[in-house]
Structures are given as C-alpha cells and as structure tokens.
Structure 1
C-alpha cells in the first residue's frame, strides 16, 4: 500500500531550495530597511525603504495586510514612493477545499496605467495547479501544473493570448525532491533555455547548492554556473557564500541581534579585478539590510 502523497510545490517553487540558497540574503546594492508590526486585530503593517548604491535614489513602500483566518480571506494594500497603488485580495477554501482565488491589481494614478491579474490555485495530494488571467495584457491566459509521486516531480506551463489566438510561451520541468536534497531541470522560454539546479542539506548546520543555465539563443555560447553554501554559525546567525564562472564572489552575513531585530550585510567581489578597491565601483559592491519586527 502506497503512502499518502504530499502536495507538490507550485511551478514557481520548483527548485526553490537552490534558488533561495543562491539568491536570498545577498544584499549588495546599497542600504535597505524593513519595519514590520502587527496589531491585535490581525492587521500587519510593513514599511520598506532602499537607497540604491549607484544612483543614491531612495525608494520605499508602505503595506497593510488584513488576515481573516476564520473565513480564509486576506486583503493587502500597498503604496510606493513611485506613486504605484497595489491591491491584492485572496480567498481560500470557499468553493472547495484546497481551492484559492487571488486578484492582484496595480494602478499608476499619474498616467492611469493599470494591471489586473486574476488567479486560481488548486492543491491536492500529488497535484498543484494554477491558472492566471492577465485582464489588460492580451488578455493572456496562463496555466501551470505540477504532479508529484514518491518524490518525483513533473511540471509544465503554457500561456495563451486570447486576442491573437495562439500559445505565446511554454515550458516544462522535471525533478526529484527528498528531505536532504533536491534536483530540478527546467526547459524555459519555449524550451530555448535550460536550467539545472541542485540542493543538498549536508548537515543541520551546512547547506550547499548549484545552478547551471544554458541559453541556446545566447550570442556567446556556454553554460553559466553558480555554486554556493550556507553555514549556521549559531542559533542566531548564518554566513552564505557563492561564486559564478565569471569570477564574481558574493558573501552574505545575517545576525539576529535580539528578538525582532535582524541585520544583514553583503559583499560582492570581482575576483578578476581585485585591484579596483573602490567598493562603490563597477567591480565590487557592498550593501546592508535591517529588519525590525514587532
């Protein structure tokens, strides 16, 4: 008798362990800060700001999120310094268990430009499928599905332009996921770009991963390769490092200073241009990120 199958990851989360290891916690472009608070009435506020190291421009946004867990409804409203209004409404487990609806909109009051993306997500053991309708672009209908059994994963994605009456994009992926490691192979961009990722939890304190990308349409043929590792120094901090085949070495250090206060620092070095010692120059980058959560 086979064991009950877990819900597989969504299409966007295939290879997530490796992507998070190589992509998150590397703050390299200036200074940024996040302040998060939650009220007793389940309203969460987040204020985020970032100063770009090259332009010195400051960008930020204010976000409020209300969660009604009893009725499975989440309402999010955000306003950015670029005068962009973002609204998101989520409703889960209303028509059927495992079914979620999501409406995400943006509005630029100055130009009147707007977007609206309606999505539905259905999750069951061994199945995770999503469908999106971009109302103002096309309209375009996009659907993706991931099926899983005994750790093996198979997924596909396709976009259909309703006005033009043709498929505009398709992709496929296969993978295997276990508690200690995961392997994923993607065929993206109408199967013109191939990406392979690998993640391994070596021990409770060490993680390692790698990602390779081959673009058949690139003018310079070759495989882009990136490898990285994460080490937990203690219960409150960790260190990450990665390097790619272009010689770019990135380091990230995150430390929890006290409950609700976290600081992260990043450094990127072009190992082929170590003589360029100016950290704000094109060869090297530095950054910092601070989170205050109440």
Structure 2
C-alpha cells in the first residue's frame, strides 16, 4: 500500500477535528447533479458571516476516459473563473494538474502546476506557483510496516532560498494513528486518533507554538454514528471552546447539517455561533 502524501499523514485526526462542523458558516447550500454522459455540476452558496452577502459559484466537471483528462471549470458570483485540468495517464503512478484562477474586473490571476508520483513505498508531490516569486513547494513521504515519515519544503526560485520547511513522523495501525510534526516556526504538534468501533471515533491533538507562549494547546474530538443515516460530533479545546454538530440524511441524496460553537467560559456573552448546511445530490 502506498504511503499518504505529506499533508495526509495526519489526515484522520485533521478530518475529525475540522470536518462536518457547521458553525463557521451561518448558512450553506450545495447542489450536486450528474448527467447521463457523466458530466458533474455543482452549485455552492454560502453566507460567510451573519447578515453578510452570499458567496456562490457554479462548477462543471468532465472526465474523458480515452485520454484520462479531467476538466473542471468554475465561475463565482465574484466574477472569478477557476479552471483545473488533470492528467492521470502520463506514467504509472504519475499525475499532473494545472489550476488557474482569473478575476477580469481587477486583473488578478493565479496559476499552479502540481505533479505527484506514487509508488508502493514512497509518495512525492511538487507544486510550482507561476505568478508568486515563483515559488516551488515539494514534499516526500516514505513508509514501511506502518511507519511513515515525510518532509516538506518551500523554495523561492528568484531569491534562491528555502522559504519554509516541515517534518512529520507517523505510525498507523489497523484501528489507530499517531503523528508528530514540527516546522520552521518551531510549531510542534502531536496527535492521536482511534477508531474505537464502527460507530465511534476519538482523537486529540496537542500543539506548542512558541509565538503564543509556553502553554500547550490541546483539542479533543469525537464522532458518533447512532445509525447509518446520522452523525454526531463534538470538539472542545483547553480554552473552553465547545463545538457541536449533527448531520442527518433526510432521504437519499438530501443531507442536513447543523452546528454550534459555544464558549464554555463566557456563556453569558453573545459570542456563540450557529450555522447550518443543506446538500442535494442527484
């Protein structure tokens, strides 16, 4: 089995801590449809802040089987054009993609080229940012019998300097994962994830950031599936911030998610958040 890419060494705990919490967006709607010839359309609309304007975009995705090319085209209500071209058949284990965005009203443009190569015992990925510096970001992971180690670095081609770096070491067993990482800012984190059963997952992450003092920040999260159509998640950190969410499949293709964030140390202050998300798939 191929190792994960560097950002995915801690994927399980990161998903548990960050995914399916809806409090940060007061309202969100997503519609997914697929045509008979395989073209996928996605419409997203969300309200980033309470009483703020909606951010919306429409996206189409087309896969050409004979050439292995995937084309994704998006257009947002901010008049931003997003394009993604993926090539998955260059060589065994080698994939490449071009990601661009362009905002005609202000002339803003971005373009990145991603290359990835995966083999049974290692995985490598590189990102070249065409319009910034230019900047190259690369990472490499190696794995053996559950142990995986990786490194990531950023290289400023114009300045000829290393702009950033990070190291990570992890261990994966059948039902749990451990990970330890450090970066050039001396931010150190250690995480633990366990799938206790088919319906219960738990995990914790401790982070030491020297820029914020000598105290260690700790987060704990859990996910519980009462039945195949519902999900309950809870997260709390050492600062007393409690986050709760509930996701329910109302019927096949329709999913509702609601979430809230509460400061357990300031329950009498109006700083709590509430959000919801509705997803349609057809």
The answer to whether TM tops 0.5 is yes
Unaligned runs of 5+ in 2: none
Structure 1 residue 287 corresponds to structure 2 residue 275: yes
Change (3 A) 1:78 1:231: same
SS in 2 for 1:217: helix
Please give the alpha-carbon distance, in whole angstroms, between the structure 1 residues aligned to 2:219 and 2:66: 44
Equivalence for 1:146 = 141
Please give the alpha-carbon distance, in whole angstroms, between the structure 2 residues aligned to 1:46 and 1:160: 35
Equivalence for 1:3 = none
Aligned runs of 1:20-59 on 2, under 5 Å? 20-28=15-23, 29-59=25-55
Equivalence for 2:240 = 247
Unaligned runs of 5+ in 1: 1-5
- Match of residue 13, structure 1, among 3, 8, 25: 8
Equivalence for 1:79 = 75
Q: Give me the CA root mean square deviation.
A: 1.1
Please give the alpha-carbon distance, in whole angstroms, between the structure 1 residues aligned to 2:147 and 2:89: 27
Aligned runs of 1:262-281 on 2, under 5 Å? 262-276=255-269, 281=270
Please give the alpha-carbon distance, in whole angstroms, between the structure 2 residues aligned to 1:127 and 1:52: 39
- Match of residue 64, structure 1, among 60, 63, 73: 60
Change (3 A) 1:131 1:56: same
Structure 1 residue 215 corresponds to structure 2 residue 203: no
Structure 1 residue 204 corresponds to structure 2 residue 192: no
Change (3 A) 1:69 1:226: farther
SS in 2 for 1:17: helix
Please give the alpha-carbon distance, in whole angstroms, between the structure 1 residues aligned to 2:188 and 2:83: 34
Please give the alpha-carbon distance, in whole angstroms, between the structure 2 residues aligned to 1:11 and 1:68: 29
Please give the alpha-carbon distance, in whole angstroms, between the structure 2 residues aligned to 1:61 and 1:91: 24
Equivalence for 1:261 = 254
Task: Work out the number of aligned pairs and report it.
Answer: 281
Please give the alpha-carbon distance, in whole angstroms, between the structure 1 residues aligned to 2:264 and 2:50: 20
SS in 1 for 2:226: strand
Deviation at 1:191, TM superposition (A): 4.9
